[in-house]
Amino acid sequence: MEILGYISSIFIGITLGLIGGGGSILTVPVLVYLFNVDPILATAYSLFVVGITSIIGSFSYFRKRLVNMRTAVVFGIPSIASVYLTRAYIVPALPFKIFHIGDFTLTRDMMIMILFAILMIVASYSMIKKDKQRIEEMLPKQKFNYPLILIEGTVVGILTGFVGAGGGFLIIPALVILSKLPMKEAVGTSLVIIAAKSLIGFLGEGSESQINWRFLLIVTFFAIVGIFIGMALSKKIDGDRLKPTFGWFVLLMGVYILVKEIW
């Protein structure tokens, strides 16, 4: 199972490099079901893996000047603050048993995985649906909708803190709609936001978490190797065509986790 886990870590990187996002949503299931990592600890590990891989993935966007730093700061501040506070205070405060009805008991670990499964199902929809063609030249001049950006950034940060996923499928549409960014620039900017909030969220991890740094760095290494493979493949394969197929896979994984955790 460990060997399969390391292979899956490479696959996570490949999907990130090939389709530009979404691959990180597989990190927690790989850690929990293939490496038998505790779900709460898995979300912490995922923040580190997602943060480092997002930094690597953003380099090519920086070179092409497809990162809008002003937008990254405006959206990133509430997102970074909320993910840090979630990891430092909210997650440690969760009781082991949330509630029980009859013979059914909802534990903290079960709640995290159910929330993650729901997030996977929502993310799969954004991958499966066909994107409408956007004429970038017709986009209006950038204008920030500060109240909505503040709310969106905070919500994304809280979700990231709970489940350890990057949330690119939530951030990219928000940057396009609320900040009027072209799609490619939104992708590059989202990677910078994801890297910052994930790594700072990881720093908010409580001292009671026993981090196995050797294991974490090995998993991260394989994910980075996968990113470079994905970037190389992206020159020959159209990632946008593969995105719906990957979306269906994420949907099936989400449904499987939901059924497994509840029944």
pLDDT in tens, 102-146: 778 888 889 988 988 898 888 888 778 765 444 444 445 566 677
pLDDT (mean) for 197-225: 87
Stated pTM of the model: 0.84
Token pair recorded at residue 174: 């928000």
Query: Residue 206: which pLDDT band, with cuts at 50, 70 and 90?
Result: low
Angle at 251 (CA atoms; ends 245, 254), nearest 5 degrees: 145
Rounded Cα distance between 50 and 45, Å, is: 9
For residue 21, the model assigns a pLDDT of 61
